[in-house]
Structure 1
Amino acid sequence: MNKASKIMIYTPSEAELYADLIRKDGYTSVCSASTPEEAEEKLQDTEILMQWKFPLHLLEKPAGKSVKWIQSLGAGVDDLMRSTSIPEGVTISRVVDQFGGPMSEYVFAQLLYVYQDIARSQVAQKKKSWQPFVTELLQGKTIGIAGLGSIGKEAIRKARAFNMKVYGLSYSGKEAHLVDRHYGPDEWMDFVKDLDILLLILPLTEQTRHIVNRDVLMAMKPTACLVNIGRGHLVAEDELIDVLRTGHLRAAILDVFQQEPLSETSPLWELPNVYITPHMSGPSTKERLGQYLLSNLTRYQNGDALLGVVNRKAGY
């Protein structure tokens, strides 16, 4: 590849912003598109597709046959893995090592809100009521982290700062040395039974879809807290709702959902001890993401290994 190879940036918003950034680095054939119609019109001769929510069926058309590399603008690639429109020879990569800091801060901000009962203090303040109470500590609690990639490793680091016990579950086991106890994909019941907090950061694959179901939830302690910042479909949502209605589980902190935006009719909005945020735990700043894209473009240009290459067989 040289800097004249055609690059398309596709995202429903801010595509031209990223295209400009890449042009400023000397790439001379860069286009942007924000709608399927624009994408189809400009796709001809594109070698590199940097995208978020691209209409993948266009890759089956003659104009899509020139694409050699697809760079996702996010960490998740389950939509790409489900697609039958991407030829086997096309390299797929995702964003890695960008989200560990902000996502782990989100997790511990939410946990401190729950365990320090900050809502109670806010209510008392509004009433001008001086009522001291004893809060719980994260110290000494056991957090189980399902998914030990770059985000999971940062969550481990922060959990250690709170003097927590850390258990981990992963499919490869290569980071098992980082946790106090490690479990494999066939050990979910043993993994969750002693946890105070279950944190989900797994990618979505056929093996992990609805992996947290009624049986797993009921195997957790009634006082345990579920946190999902991975993918909405990791959790069987209807079964979670049923379990929460019984009063089992202290809290569910949910940043991702099976359907987004979350329907206004979802019972999750009104269930007590459910904390909902609109898929905001892993924000991409334009500066960080832009530098990541440029770094991978340089690697591609030089024939070096790309960052975040997806293993299609594993699904992430």
Structure 2
Amino acid sequence: MTAATAGPHVLITPNLAELLPQLEQRYPNCRFTAVPDDEPVREEYLDAEVILRSAMNEDTFDVLLSKCQQLRWVQITAAGFDWVGGEIWHRRLDEGLIYTRSPNSYNVPIAEYVIGAVLLHARAFPELAAAQQRREWIRVMARDVIGSTMLVFGTGAIGREVAWRARALGASVIGVNRAGTEAEGFERVIPFAEHLALLPEADSVVLAMPLTSENRCFFDAARFAAMKDSAVLVNVGRGALILEDALVEAMRTNRIGGAVLDVFEEEPLPATSRLWDLPRTTLTPHTSFRGSGNLQRLYADFCANFDRYLAGEQLFGTKRQPELGY
């Protein structure tokens, strides 16, 4: 490879190393290097222009940000931006570093998780599983998903994937976003300011929105009080969208029918957390995004942006509302 034909040097976190053969084949003039967390940053990394980041030690990332003076672009393998940040990071952003997310990589497994969570409670699987443990033969009346109403907070890529799947099951799906902007897959979309009036209609409520300064702990006692006592709440957004005290009270007093939570303010969730023992509540360890096709979706997302980068075009997946952090 000559200097004239050499393409950008790209650093990749080790958990994405399976992509290296595909990337090297597709971009033979570029160099791709996996960066282990358990060893010092090497001199050979320092000419990198691009980082494709998934699981990477924050200290390692800060060193790369400090020493890779040619670094121009970082793509993270996540849908949200709120988990990245630090003094060096913000300085590099101010200097012009481009920062993008992977908007399509995890939508499919998260949407399937949501549908599974809704069906879990509609078909009364928690009650049936408890009866099995007691060796008790019971018959529980299930609730139809067809004809039900689903309220989805967040009409981005994840929300849209949830919407068409739920509608395929016969549910009526209403979206909620900041301005009530129409979105594909939803029967209608309402502005966030009007959501409290719609909560009494919803048989299932899905939180698939980014965490911002405007919506932290918005799902409080008033929201739980507005819900049907048979409704199920599914959170695949961020744990801090829900006020924990209100959640605990709602579940302990049978205020709603059930909750399925995949995200928490503190992760890993401590063994001492009161959430573990809540009735009618299913907890999963932030795994809704995991799916067998993730690597190929991450590959497709990165290549779509890398092609743009090589062509000098604007990248997709940047912040849509920088003032709110997403």
TM class, shorter-length: 0.7 to 0.9
List runs of 5+ in structure 1 lacking aligned partners.
none
Does the aligned pair in 2 maintain the 1:140–1:163 contact within 8 Å? yes
Q: Which amino acid aligns with 1:66?
A: Q
1:184-263 counterparts in 2 under 5 A?
Answer: 184-263=191-270
1:34-53 counterparts in 2 under 5 A?
Answer: 34-35=36-37, 38-39=40-41, 43-52=45-54
List runs of 5+ in structure 2 lacking aligned partners.
none
Q: Which amino acid aligns with 1:71?
A: Q
**Equivalent of 1:6, from 9, 12, 16?**
9
Aligned to 1:16: 17
Q: Which amino acid aligns with 1:293?
A: F
Shift of 1:145: 0.3
The share of aligned pairs that are identical, in percent, is 28
Secondary structure of 2:216's aligned partner: coil
**Equivalent of 1:309, from 298, 302, 318?**
318
Shift of 1:111: 1.6
Task: Give the distance between the partners of 1:179 and 1:31, measured in 2 at CA.
Answer: 42
Does the aligned pair in 1 maintain the 2:160–2:183 contact within 8 Å? no
Task: Give the distance between the partners of 2:134 and 2:93, measured in 1 at CA.
Answer: 62
Does the aligned pair in 2 maintain the 1:256–1:279 contact within 8 Å? yes
Task: Give the distance between the partners of 1:176 and 1:286, measured in 2 at CA.
Answer: 27
Does the aligned pair in 1 maintain the 2:257–2:280 contact within 8 Å? yes
Aligned to 1:79: 83
Shift of 1:257: 0.9
> CA distance change for structure 1 residues 157 and 3 in 2, over 3 Å: closer, same or farther?
farther
After superposing the two structures, state which structure 1 stretch, 21-30 or 259-268, moved more: 21-30
Task: Give the distance between the partners of 1:214 and 1:42, measured in 2 at CA.
Answer: 54
Does the aligned pair in 2 maintain the 1:59–1:86 contact within 8 Å? no
Task: Give the distance between the partners of 2:141 and 2:249, measured in 1 at CA.
Answer: 31
> CA distance change for structure 1 residues 48 and 252 in 2, over 3 Å: closer, same or farther?
same
Task: Give the distance between the partners of 1:2 and 1:255, measured in 2 at CA.
Answer: 46
Does the aligned pair in 2 maintain the 1:15–1:33 contact within 8 Å? no
TM-score, normalized by length of structure 2? 0.84
Aligned to 2:308: 299
Task: Give the distance between the partners of 2:127 and 2:277, measured in 1 at CA.
Answer: 18
Task: Give the distance between the partners of 2:85 and 2:45, measured in 1 at CA.
Answer: 21
Does the aligned pair in 1 maintain the 2:11–2:48 contact within 8 Å? yes
Task: Give the distance between the partners of 2:134 and 2:42, measured in 1 at CA.
Answer: 59
Task: Give the distance between the partners of 2:217 and 2:288, measured in 1 at CA.
Answer: 21
Task: Give the distance between the partners of 1:92 and 1:34, measured in 2 at CA.
Answer: 21
Does the aligned pair in 2 maintain the 1:255–1:276 contact within 8 Å? yes
Secondary structure of 1:198's aligned partner: strand
Shift of 1:159: 1.5
Task: Give the distance between the partners of 2:11 and 2:235, measured in 1 at CA.
Answer: 33
1:254-273 counterparts in 2 under 5 A?
Answer: 254-273=261-280
Task: Give the distance between the partners of 2:99 and 2:295, measured in 1 at CA.
Answer: 21
**Equivalent of 1:154, from 138, 153, 161?**
161
Aligned to 2:34: 32
Task: Give the distance between the partners of 1:122 and 1:15, measured in 2 at CA.
Answer: 37
Task: Give the distance between the partners of 2:18 and 2:184, measured in 1 at CA.
Answer: 41
Q: Which amino acid aligns with 1:7?
A: V
Shift of 1:27: 4.4
Does the aligned pair in 2 maintain the 1:81–1:315 contact within 8 Å? no
Does the aligned pair in 1 maintain the 2:160–2:186 contact within 8 Å? no
CA distances 1:97-121 after superposition (whole Å, capped 9, x unpaired): 2333222221121221211112444
Q: Which amino acid aligns with 2:10?
A: I
CA distances 1:161-191 after superposition (whole Å, capped 9, x unpaired): 2222222101243325743442213223223
Aligned to 2:72: 68
Task: Give the distance between the partners of 1:234 and 1:79, measured in 2 at CA.
Answer: 14
CA distances 1:27-77 after superposition (whole Å, capped 9, x unpaired): 43322223285447555222111113553544663x144221110111121
> CA distance change for structure 1 residues 44 and 167 in 2, over 3 Å: closer, same or farther?
same
Task: Give the distance between the partners of 2:91 and 2:44, measured in 1 at CA.
Answer: 18
Does the aligned pair in 1 maintain the 2:217–2:243 contact within 8 Å? yes
TM-score, normalized by length of structure 1? 0.87
Shift of 1:15: 4.3
Shift of 1:94: 0.8
Q: Which amino acid aligns with 1:84?
A: H
**Equivalent of 1:115, from 104, 118, 122?**
122
